[in-house]
Structure formats: structure tokens, C-alpha cells
Structure 1
Amino acid sequence: MESKLPVLFLCLAFAACSANQHHDPSVVGYSQEDLASPNKLLDLFTSWSVEHSKIYASPKEKVKRYRVFKQNLMHIAETNRKNGSYWLGLNQFADIAHEEFKASYLGLKPGLSKMGAPPRPATTFRYANAVDLPWAVDWRYKGAVTPVKNQGECGSCWAFSTVAAVEGINQIATGKLVSLSEQELMDCDTTFDHGCGGGIMDFAFAFIMGNQGIHTDEDYPYLMEEGYCKEKQPHASVVTITGYEDVPENSEVSLLKALAHQPVSVGIAAGSKDFQFYKGGVFDGACSAELDHALTAVGYGSSYGQDYIVMKNSWGKNWGDQGYVRMKRGTGKPEGVCGIYSMASYPVKNATHWGA
């Protein structure tokens, strides 16, 4: 037993260091000395601008953005000093004021379901009786998740969340991972959803069903803005679904049951400064008051005693952990952190439609 103690000690030390690595200034790209020096702050802004290809229309605009950059940097530093379970970092949004950010990059509109849409009959939850769930699931490693995409300055998160979920169930059903078209939803799904003006995933699933499928991203590429709906292309392939279902509200176990079987579209309250600059760790922090953004849950697991759900975002790989965020679970709140159990749904693809 004694011979194993040094090894055990080393393992625990390594775990502790790994768990606290976000306190290393190199993780977020600056030190306390940088924050105290105007010259270093300006150098940091300059190098950040080059890294993110920022070009400003005038010296006045550049000065304005520098001020916003400093304010955001101070928020990042102050949050990281709290030694929480997650940490923040500079990303492509560092020169954008928070109100501007919310207006341009969030697009989930739960209220649309109450504004003229026909009432929807209650759906079943096919995974209600699922038991013996795996302790961890990650659909990225199962080949059911396409690379992280970027919605750009457009409130089209609802389309990206929808498409990621359909890409997932299509791969599970057919064995083929095909990148699908968010732009088709932007241009053609306009009865209740509103392109860059926002939408919800259930309406988009219903559109795909009524449209007899959705085109590939290659055939109908993303423009980062609304366009005209293209007619069906005779030789272009489409991916179909046969239905969609809602996950029971405010039920963590129900979301885990669904997620054990396929990626799931999820609405969250992401309109906070902490979420804007999330860099890594298990997020359990500040949230906005209402659901305002859509992501796709692609797995769940546990790390250093922190249970989490892995979510794919659509703000590019420079945001978060290579475009992903781990949301804390097991908090005891029925709605979950940032309301992640309030509005979740997934597409259905029956075996008879596997070839399409």
C-alpha cells in the first residue's frame, strides 16, 4: 500500500493543477501587469485586432472600439479572479458592447409559438422509458456532428440548432454525416420564422417535413444574411425527417434520455456578458432573464466532480472551447442553468426513410 501513495499523490496533484489551469494568465492571453499598463493594453488591442482581422472605418470608430475592448477585458479579468468553475477570454466579440452583441448574435424567439401559429397536438416522448443510460455520451466521437459553423452577425441560431440536430439523426440512421443548409431555412421557412430576425426550432423541423427535406450546405450555402428562396433543384439531394418531438419541460433526466440517443436542439438564456466571453470550464454563471439563443446538445459527462452537458454553438471556433460550451447539470433547478431544460426538441427519422 505504501508504494502506491507517491503515485496517488502525483495523480491528485496533476488533477488539481489541471482543474485550476484557467487561473494561468496565459490561458486568457494577458497578465495583471498588462491590465495595469496603458501601453500594454494598447499593444494587446492591436495584436487582438490583427488576429481577428478587425478593420475600422475611421480613427473615431477605432477609439470607440478600444474603449469597449478595455471594458470587456476588465470584466473578463474580474470574473476570472473569482476562481469559478468556468473562465472567460478574449474572442472575436471583444470590441462589441453587450447590448450590441445581444441585438446581433442571439435569435431564439420562443414567443413566436404564441403569435398566430396553429396549435400543435401533444407529441409523445419516445425515450420516456429509457433506462441504463451510459455515464457519458459524446456524439462528436460517434461521427454525428459536423464541424462548428458560424452564423455571423445574424440572429439565425435557430436554423443552426435545427440543422445540427437533423445532421445528427441522419448520420445515426444512415451512417452518413452530411452538412445541411441553414440558408434554406433562412430563405424559405418564413411563415413563422424570420431569418436573421429569429425563429424557433420546432417550426423549422415542421418546415423540413412539409418541404420533403432539406438541401445540403454545398448545394445551398450560407450567406450570413437573408436571401431569396431557391426553387427545388432537380438533381440535388435532400435529407428528410419523419417528425419531431419535444423533450418534457424542466426535466434534466428527460433531456439526458433523449441525448443518450441523438443530438438535441436546446433553447437557452445566453444573453449575458459571461456567456459572450466564455472560454472554458463548466458554465454555471450569469444568464439572461429569458430564453434568447439556440444551441445543440451533443453529449454529457463529468469532469473533476462537475457534471455537464456539452453544447455546440454557432459562433465559430474562436468562441468558447473550440466552439463548444459545457453547461453544468445536477444543480437542482428544474429549468437548469440558463433554462436549458425549458425548451428542447429533436427530429425523428424512421427506419423506412433511412435512405433519404
Structure 2
Amino acid sequence: MEFNKLLSFSLSLVLILSVAESFDYDEKELKTEEGMEAMYDRWRAHHKVSEKSPEKFNAFKATAQLVHNHNKLKKSYKLKINSLADMTNEEYRSAYTHQNLKLPGPGCPACPACPAASGCPACPACPGASGCPAAANAKDLPPRVDWREKNVISPPRWISVDYMALTSIEAINAIRTGQNLVLSQHQVYHCKPTCKISDGIIFDFAKDTGIATLESYPPEIKGCDKSKFGKTLVTIDGNQYPAASAPTEEAVMKAVAQQPILVGFSGKDDEYKAYAGGIFSGPCGGEGKTILIVGYDQDPDGTKYWIAKAAFEEDWGEKGYIRILRTPEGICQMYTYTVMPLKSEETRNIEL
């Protein structure tokens, strides 16, 4: 989807996501077409959605049945009929999956062996030995980490998932400078020197040019207008792939203990879209998406999990976050793509 069309569509989602969170239904409504249509109309009124089409109604019906059937089972997480319930697969994949992230398929060797196997993406280049640290000893790590408690995570908001790298830059900038700034994906889109977008391009742009805040460079600005960059451009030193040489739980924990990091994730789209809370344990097999791991912990019963920020507002999941089952090998390809920005204590932002 073209960025401006996606932006317009996504801004409408922001308005939808700002309304009341809960939507209740009666099981009887699921049993007939008339009941489902009445339920859909109630949902549209609840979320102030004017658009209606057979395609979106069919998507809503499928979501409602999925939520109802899933929640009758004793799963580790729940689903809900949220404000994304009538998104078609095409709409969802355009808005909420990473267009340039291709996670390795079964049998693909891990980096840095950089395979040429069929169906395996090219490995990211590690910036020297420091870019591929060895797996950590779990005994040396904190038992729990939650960067939200340190006020370095920006508030949940809709952001194009292709630009989730911005959330990791926001976090390391807050850790290093004490400034909790929200960055502008619109400035990056309009001012980057290439029409392509990837995490690497965003990190390079932050290093070479600096990224403006959303406050100074809002969506209303058209084109690349350097006069609107504002007072501060956030910069970084580069990036590294912390679990490239050892895609293990310990390696990711070691990185997250230092700062929030981006990981690739292939949770099944329908369940991920309707996630309401609890520890997501699968199914997998969805389109690739990046999420920001902001911590890890475990339940009183000993179930370990990751804490991740997604590309949604507080209406989704656990106020914009998801907990994901933490295992040695990583569910849904979680350890096959990990990346984090670098910013030293001495690196200063550009003050205009």
C-alpha cells in the first residue's frame, strides 16, 4: 500500500482506537446471519465506524467466531473483538506486518553463517565481533527486567510496523539522555535518501541525519521540509545484531538487560490481531512483524515470558503490550532476527 494511503487509513484507526475498550456480545448473536449483522452494526456504532462492506462484514464474522471459540478453551491468553475486528487480511498485512522483514524458514542456518539456502533471507552484516556477542550465562542476569518502570518507553501508539525501529531509538535515547521523546516516522519517510525502508535504513538515517520529534514534524507536513525539523534531532552511533551468532534465550536476555531491542515475530495474524491479554503461546506462521522487547519476567507458577511493545495503541492487548512465552529456542522465530541501536553516553543529539 502506498505510504500516504496507508497513513490516511492508519490515522483513521487511531481515532477508532481512542474510543471505549470493551465490546460485549451474546452467544446467540453468533448463531444466525441476522444476529451477526446486528452484532456488527452494534460494533460499528461502538467504535464509530461508518464504513461497511461485504468483505469487512465477513472479516468481522470470522474474528467473532475465532474469539468466541478460542476463549472457550483453556489457553494461556485471551482474545477479544477489538477495534481491528473487521480488517480484511489485505488491510491488516498492509498496515501491521513488516513489508521488508522476511524471517528464515525451517532449516535456514542462523547467522553469521550467512546461508544461500533456498528461501532463506540474507543475513544482516554484523559490525565486527562486538555485533555478535556470545550467549550470556543466565545466572549473571537480573531475574526480571521491565524498562517501562524506568520511564524510557514512549507511550503506546499506532506506528507503521516498518518503522518500529523508531521505538528502539526512542528507548536508547531516553536511557542515555533522560529525554523521553516520540519520533516522527513522517520525517524519516519524506527525508531519507532512498524510497526503500528497513530497520537498517532507519538506523543509518538516525546516525547520519538525525530524527525529528513527532511534535515538530507531524503527519500534516508534506514532503521533506528541513525548516520543520524543530529543536532536536535524535542521533545514534549505529546498530548491532545481539543474537546473530547465538540465537538463544540467554543472548536475547543479555541484550534486553542492557536496553529494549527489536525482534522479528511470526505469531499467527488472526490470533495476534485479536490478542487481549495473557501469555501468547502460539500458533505461529503469520506474516513477519517486528516488536520491541522491553523486558522479561515470569508468572508465580514459573511460566516465563517476554514483555513486548507492539505497533498498536492502548486499546489492543495489555494496554498496547503483549506477553509472549519465553523458551530456550524462542517461539514464532523470535530469536532469528534481533537488532538494537547503539548510542554511547558521549553521543549528543543535534540541537538546532
RMSD: 3.1
Q: Secondary structure at the match of 2:285?
A: coil
Paired residue type of 1:343: Y
The equivalent residue for 1:282 is 279
1:66 aligns with 57
8 Å contact from structure 2 (residues 266, 289) kept in 1: yes
SS in 2 for 1:54: coil
Whether contact under 8 Å (1:296, 1:313) holds in the other structure is: yes
What secondary structure, in the 3-state scheme, does the structure 2 residue paired with 1:228 have?
A: coil
Distance 1:313 1:35 in 2: 30
Aligned to 2:69: 78
Give unmatched runs, 5+ long, in structure 1. 1-25
Query: Residues 126-172 of structure 1, C-alpha deviation per residue, up to 9 Å, x if partnerless?
Result: 86567621111111111001111113xxxx3131x211111111111
User: For residue 206 of structure 2, what is the amino acid of its counterpart?
Assistant: I
Cα 1:235–1:317, aligned 2, differ >3 Å: closer, same or farther? closer
Q: What TM-score results when the alignment is normalised by the length of structure 2? A: 0.78
**Matching residue within 186, 189, 195 for 2:189:** 186
**Distance in structure 2 (CA, Å) of the matches to 1:355 and 1:109:** 28
Corresponding position: 1:349 with 2:325: no
Match of 2:46 in 1: 51
Change in Cα spacing, 1:328 to 1:174, as seen in structure 2 (3 Å) is same
Alignment CA distance shift 1:221-1:115 (3 Å): farther
Q: 1:51 to 1:186 in 2, by over 3 A?
A: farther
- Partner residue of 1:244 out of 234, 239, 242: 239
1:235 & 1:97 partners in 2: Cα distance?
38
Distance in 1 (CA, whole Å) between partners of 2:59 and 2:24 is 18
The residue aligned with 2:254 is 257
3-state SS of paired residue (1:351):
coil
Deviation at 1:100, TM superposition (A): 3.7
Question: Percent sequence identity over matched residues?
Answer: 27
Q: Distance in 1 between matches of 2:123 and 2:169?
A: 22
Shift of 1:52: 1.8
Query: Which one has the largest radius of gyration?
Result: 1
Query: Is the CA contact (8 Å cut-off) linking 2:217 and 2:228 kept in structure 1?
Result: no
- Decide whether the 8 Å contact of 2:97 with 2:162 is kept in 1: no
Normalised by the length of structure 1, the TM-score is 0.77
Q: 1:210-254 deviations in whole A, cap 9, x for unaligned?
A: 11x21111111246xx95223265752111111211122321111
| d(CA) in 2 for partners of 1:302, 1:215 | 37
Q: Deviations over 1:301-337 (max 9, x none)?
A: 112432111111112222212111111112x4x3x11
Counterpart-to-counterpart distance in 2, 1:63 and 1:192: 35
Q: 1:110/1:355 Cα in 2 relative to 1: closer, same or farther (>3 Å)?
A: closer
Aligned residues: 310
2:146 maps to what in 1? 138
1:311 is the counterpart of 2:308? yes
Measured in 2, the distance between the counterparts of 1:125 and 1:116 equals: 16
Whether the aligned pair in 1 keeps the contact of 2:23 and 2:46 (CA below 8 Å) is no
Provide the rounded CA distance (Å) in 2 between the counterparts of 1:78 and 1:266: 30
| AA aligned opposite 1:245 | Q
Query: Where does structure 2 lack aligned partners over 5 or more consecutive residues?
Result: 1-20, 104-113, 115-119
Range with greater deviation from structure 2 (343-352 or 62-71): 62-71
Pick closer, same or farther for the CA change 1:247–1:116 going to 2, 3 Å.
closer
Contact 1:127 1:257 in 2 (8 A): no
- Partner Cα distance (1:234, 1:104) in 2: 26
Residues 71 and 355 (structure 1), Cα distance of their counterparts in 2 relative to 1, 3 Å cut: closer
- Letter of the 2:204 counterpart: A
Structure 2 distance, partners of 1:65, 1:238, is 41
1:123: Cα distance to partner? 5.0
